């Protein structure tokens, strides 16, 4: 059965309108290229997205003016993918840079670089947090997230803090990392949502991949095994996966997900691949 792979991009102006009464632009049925990479904190998840066939009016509206001192309009971007089985949110973040690319004219595009936490660390007016002894650990993370206006999810973390911790770091990533170290929990930031887990190897989902699922052979890369798939899965950095039936004997094992990458395009001849890097579980 033929399935049409599609991508859709939404861009939202967080500080006003692009045009009168319009603060959300939607791009679909256009050639779109995207490279999305999710790694462990503090880097978080980032994306490079190119949209072809955008009108000059819309390109001008999206373009950032970073070179103009003290001025950048905050914009959010969301990327939706469809394998042919229904659309799902693949990436959500903030635009760091966006500019028209005429280098391959007449094949012109708007080129966008984005990071999930791009603007969180710019909030320097949030006061440090000093918390008394006995506060439940999830409440500490919930307060930090509330300060930055992002979502929070507790995944089984229990217990109270053992002392007053003074968080004088600026920025969401720095504060989350400081709290995670102090209270021995495992944090993940995905799509503007902070999740914390007990630091005991707990996993959200276990994925099983056989040689019929991935492209080519598993490869060893930077002390981890890497597989490529031509179907997109919503894999989390907190998940684990197994490889079975591979001719590469050492790869038939169980791994923690340490990196997830997408290289996808709706241009003719473009890629539709995701890559998972995993560290072996001893």
> What does the pLDDT look like over 171-212, one tens digit per residue?
788 888 888 888 888 888 776 788 898 887 667 799 999 999
CA–CA gap between residue 145 and residue 175 (Å, rounded) = 9
Q: What percent of the chain stands above pLDDT 90?
A: 54
- Laid out side by side, the sheet with 185-190 consists of 151-154, 193-198, 185-190
The stretch 65-81 carries a mean pLDDT of 76
DSSP 3-state of 144: helix
Residues 6+ apart with CB under 8 A from 43: none
211/64: higher pLDDT: 211
pLDDT given at position 1: 36
pLDDT digits (tens, 9 = 90+) for 109-119: 999 999 876 66
Architecture of domain 122-198: 3-Layer(bab) Sandwich (3.55)
Task: Report the DSSP pairing between strands 6-13 and 24-27.
Answer: antiparallel
Residues 6 or more apart from 249 whose CB is under 8 A from it? none
Confidence at residue 214, expressed as pLDDT on a 0 to 100 scale? 96
Q: Which two tokens stand for residue 50?
A: 């190119």
**How confident is the model over 4-27, as pLDDT tens digits?**
899 999 999 988 899 999 999 999
- Looking at the whole model, is its pTM more than 0.85? no
What is the band of 96 on the pLDDT scale with cuts at 50, 70, 90? Answer: confident
The tokens of 237 are what? Answer: 């950095």
- Residues forming beta bridges with residue 254, ordered by sequence position: 242
Output 166 or 79, whichever has higher pLDDT.
79
Exposed/middle/buried for 162, CB within 10 Å: 0-12, 13-18, 19+? Answer: exposed
In this model, does residue 70 exceed pLDDT 60? Answer: no
DSSP state of 231: S
Question: Is residue 141 a contact partner of residue 85, using CB atoms and an 8 Å limit?
Answer: no
pLDDT tens-place string over residues 156-172: 999 998 877 787 777 78
Nearest to 205, CA basis, from 282, 116, 276: 276
């Amino acid at each position: 059965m033929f399935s049409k792979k599609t991508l859709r991009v939404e861009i939202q102006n967080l500080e006003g309108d692009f045009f009168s009464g319009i603060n959300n632009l939607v791009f679909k049925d256009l050639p779109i290229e995207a490279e999305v990479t999710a790694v462990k904190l503090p880097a978080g998840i980032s994306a490079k997205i190119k949209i072809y066939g955008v009108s000059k009016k819309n390109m001008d509206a999206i373009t950032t003016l970073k070179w103009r001192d003290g001025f950048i309009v905050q914009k959010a971007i969301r990327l939706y993918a469809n394998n042919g089985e229904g659309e799902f949110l693949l990436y959500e973040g903030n635009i760091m840079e966006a500019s028209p690319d005429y280098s391959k004219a007449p094949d012109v595009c708007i080129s966008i670089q984005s990071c999930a936490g791009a603007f969180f660390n710019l909030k320097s007016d949030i006061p440090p947090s000093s918390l008394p002894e006995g506060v439940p650990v999830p409440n500490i993370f919930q307060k930090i997230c509330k300060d930055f206006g992002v979502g929070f999810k507790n995944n089984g973390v229990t217990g109270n803090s053992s002392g007053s911790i003074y968080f004088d770091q600026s920025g969401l990533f720095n504060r989350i990392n400081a709290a995670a170290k102090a209270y021995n929990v495992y944090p993940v930031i995905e799509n503007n949502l902070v999740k914390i887990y007990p630091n005991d190897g707990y996993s959200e989902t276990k994925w099983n991949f056989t040689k019929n699922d991935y492209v080519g052979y598993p490869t060893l890369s930077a002390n981890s095994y890497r597989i490529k798939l031509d179907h997109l899965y919503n894999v989390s950095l907190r998940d684990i996966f197994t490889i079975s039936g591979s001719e590469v004997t050492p790869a038939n094992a169980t791994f923690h997900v340490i990196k997830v990458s997408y290289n996808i395009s709706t241009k003719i001849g473009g890629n539709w691949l995701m890559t998972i890097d995993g560290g072996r579980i001893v």
